[in-house]
Amino acid sequence: MLDLAGIGIGPANLSLAALCEEAGESGRARFFDRKPGFSWHRGMMLPGARLQCSWIKDLVTPVAPTSRFGFLSYLAARRRLFAFVNAGFETVSRTEFADYLAWVAGQLPALRWDSTLRDIGFEAGAFTAQVGHERVRARHLVLGLGHEPALPACLEPHRGDGCLHATEFLERMPALAGRRVAVVGGGQSGAEIMLHVLRSAAPPASIAWVSRRSNFLPLDETHFSNEHFTPAYVEHFFDLPAERRAALLQEQRMMSDGISASTLRELYAEVYRLRFLEKVPPVPSLLPGRSLVACAPWRGALSLDLRAADTGAGQRIFADVVVAATGYRVSLPPCLEALGIGRDTTNGAPLLGRRYALAWDGPAANRIYLQNAGRGSHGIADPQLALLAWRSATILNDALGREIFPLGAEASLIDWSRHGEDNESCAICE
Q: What is the pLDDT of residues 215-251, one digit of tens each?
A: 999 999 999 999 999 999 999 999 999 999 999 999 9
User: What pLDDT, on a 0 to 100 scale, did the predictor assign at position 15?
Assistant: 98
3-state secondary structure of 29: strand
Compute how many other C-beta atoms are within 10 angstroms of the C-beta atom of residue 270: 16
Report the C-alpha gap between 263 and 129 in whole angstroms: 44
Whether 424 shows a pLDDT value over 70: the answer reads no
CATH topology of domain 151-219+257-324: FAD/NAD(P)-binding domain (3.50.50)
Report the C-alpha gap between 314 and 290 in whole angstroms: 9
What single-letter DSSP state applies at residue 360?
Answer: B
Question: For residues 171 and 340, is the Cβ–Cβ distance under 8 A?
Answer: no
User: What pLDDT, on a 0 to 100 scale, did the predictor assign at position 145?
Assistant: 77
pTM: 0.93
What single-letter DSSP state applies at residue 195?
Answer: H
Range with the poorest average pLDDT among 166-180, 302-316, 373-387, 413-427:
413-427
What single-letter DSSP state applies at residue 158?
Answer: G
Report the C-alpha gap between 66 and 400 in whole angstroms: 22
Cα–Cα distances in angstroms (integers) from residue 41 to residues 45, 139, 165, 275, 325, in the given order: 7, 31, 12, 32, 13
Whether 40 shows a pLDDT value over 70: the answer reads yes
Q: Mind listing the pLDDT tens digit for each residue in 25-37?
A: 888 999 999 999 9
Count the alpha carbons within 13 Å of 372 in the hemisphere toward its beta carbon: 25
Task: Write the DSSP assignment of 218-236 as a string of letters.
Answer: BP---TTGGGGGSHHHHHH
Report the C-alpha gap between 109 and 148 in whole angstroms: 27
Report the C-alpha gap between 318 and 304 in whole angstroms: 6
Compute how many other C-beta atoms are within 10 angstroms of the C-beta atom of residue 297: 11
Q: Mind listing the pLDDT tens digit for each residue in 317-365?
A: 999 999 999 998 888 888 888 899 998 888 888 899 999 999 999 999 9
With cut-offs at 50, 70 and 90, classify the pLDDT of residue 428.
Answer: very low
Question: For residues 145 and 7, is the Cβ–Cβ distance under 8 A?
Answer: yes
Report the C-alpha gap between 137 and 141 in whole angstroms: 10
Of 111, 130, 110, 112, whose CA–CA distance to 120 is shortest? Answer: 130
User: Which residue would you say has higher pLDDT here, 52 or 280?
Assistant: 52
Class of the domain covering 2-148+329-400: alpha beta
Determine what percent of the chain is predicted with pLDDT higher than 70.
Answer: 97
Mean pLDDT along residues 18-26: 94
- 159-188: burial string, b at 16+ Cβ within 10 Å, e else: eeebbbbbbbbbeeebebeebbbbbbbbbb
3-state secondary structure of 391: helix
Report the C-alpha gap between 189 and 194 in whole angstroms: 9
What residues contact 173, with CB distance under 8 A and at least 6 apart?
A: none
Estimate to the nearest angstrom the gap between the alpha carbon of 126 and the chain centroid. Answer: 30
With cut-offs at 50, 70 and 90, classify the pLDDT of residue 55.
Answer: very high
Whether the domain at 2-148+329-400 and the domain at 151-219+257-324 fall into the same CATH topology: yes
User: Which residue would you say has higher pLDDT here, 264 or 280?
Assistant: 264
Report the C-alpha gap between 110 and 36 in whole angstroms: 15
Q: Mind listing the pLDDT tens digit for each residue in 94-133?
A: 999 999 999 999 999 999 999 999 999 999 999 999 998 8
Q: What share of the chain is helix, strand, coil (3-state, %, to 5)?
A: 30, 25, 45
Report the C-alpha gap between 142 and 370 in whole angstroms: 6
Task: Write the DSSP assignment of 272-338 as a string of letters.
Answer: HIIIIII--S---EEE-SEEEEEEEEETTEEEEEEEETTT--EEEEEESEEEE---EEE---GGGGG
Whether 22 shows a pLDDT value over 50: the answer reads yes
Beta strand 206-210 with 285-287: parallel, antiparallel or unpaired?
parallel
User: What pLDDT, on a 0 to 100 scale, did the predictor assign at position 418?
Assistant: 58
What residues contact 27, with CB distance under 8 A and at least 6 apart?
A: none
User: What pLDDT, on a 0 to 100 scale, did the predictor assign at position 67?
Assistant: 97
Mean pLDDT along residues 254-279: 94
User: What pLDDT, on a 0 to 100 scale, did the predictor assign at position 329?
Assistant: 87
Count the alpha carbons within 13 Å of 313 in the hemisphere toward its beta carbon: 5
Report the interhelical angle of 188-198 vs 261-272 (nearest 10°).
30
Q: Residue ranges of the domains in the chain? A: 2-148+329-400, 151-219+257-324
What single-letter DSSP state applies at residue 341?
Answer: B
User: What pLDDT, on a 0 to 100 scale, did the predictor assign at position 420?
Assistant: 43
User: Which residue would you say has higher pLDDT here, 398 or 174?
Assistant: 398
